Amino acid sequence: MKVAKVGETDQKLISKLIFNTVVPRPIAWITTVSNEGVVNLAPFSFYNAVTTKPPIVVVSIGKRKDGTRKDTGRNIRETGEFVINVVSEEFLNKMVETGNDFPPEESEAEKIGIALEPSLMVKPPRVKGVPAALECRCQEIVEIGDTPMDLVIGEVVAIHYEPSILETQKGIVGRLGGKRYCIVREEINISDLD
């Protein structure tokens, strides 16, 4: 077993260790709309739910290499609204594609051919066919880290869901280290083990 003391270890290794040890991470596939009306879609795995009453989620959105805000972060700052689409197996490749750099005036969903449908409470649409989508309003943005990243704290105001997701999460995609992903294939219900 090795140990890496933060501050005395190359930052590249520290980042790699975080990406490879905090796993699997849920993926927020986020739709937003710019002030100009362009729909943006991109994945984020520094993401989790932190309370249920009210339901609150956090997403950490970084900057591009040139120091500018990613479209998702800029759109949330400008409009205060976003939708988190839950990624299932059939969307894995398309979700990864939306992680590539697209200019702000181009819609990833349109370019890649991802069908969208309207949301109930917020302007950004949701991805058609995903097992669940969380409509969110930004409550607060906390700048965090050296970059700094935008830690977006969002309140969930409506949840679209396939009723089957309450019984099983099989087929849902998670993020591992590097470019690796996982898909839920086996679920162990602890009460079944008695």
Ligand X SMILES: Cc1cc2nc3c(=O)[nH]c(=O)nc-3n(C[C@H](O)[C@H](O)[C@H](O)COP(=O)(O)O)c2cc1C
Write down the H helix ranges in the chain: 11-21, 71-79, 92-97, 108-112
In the complex with ligand X, the residue whose CB is nearer, 101 or 164, is 101
Residue nearest to ligand X (CB): 99
In the complex with ligand X, the residue whose CB is nearer, 72 or 119, is 72
Binding-site member from 78, 101, 106, 140 for ligand X (CB under 6 A): 101
Quick one: how many helices (H) and strands (E) in the chain?
4, 12
Query: Where are the extended beta strands (E) located within 17-131?
Result: 25-26, 28-33, 39-44, 47-52, 55-61, 81-85, 116-117, 126-127
Tell whether residue 40 is a contact of ligand X (CB under 6 A): yes
Output the furthest CA–CA distance in the chain (Å, rounded). Answer: 57
Instruction: Give the binding range for ligand X (CB under 6 A) out of 58-66, 117-125, 133-141, 159-167.
Output: 58-66
Cβ–Cβ contacts within 10 Å for residue 91, how many?
Answer: 21
Least separation in angstroms between residue 142's CB and ligand X is 14
Least separation in angstroms between residue 14's CB and ligand X is 16
Tell whether residue 162 is a contact of ligand X (CB under 6 A): no
Q: Is 191 exposed, middle or buried (0-12, 13-18, 19+ CB in 10 A)?
A: exposed
Tell whether residue 43 is a contact of ligand X (CB under 6 A): yes
Bridge partners (DSSP) of residue 30 are 42, 84
Binding-site member from 33, 38, 39, 42 for ligand X (CB under 6 A): 42
Least separation in angstroms between residue 63's CB and ligand X is 8
3-class SS at 93? Answer: helix
Tell whether residue 82 is a contact of ligand X (CB under 6 A): no
Tell me the residue length of the chain. Answer: 194
Tell whether residue 62 is a contact of ligand X (CB under 6 A): yes
List of residues contacting ligand X (CB under 6 A):
27, 40, 42-46, 60-62, 70-72, 96, 99, 101-102, 175
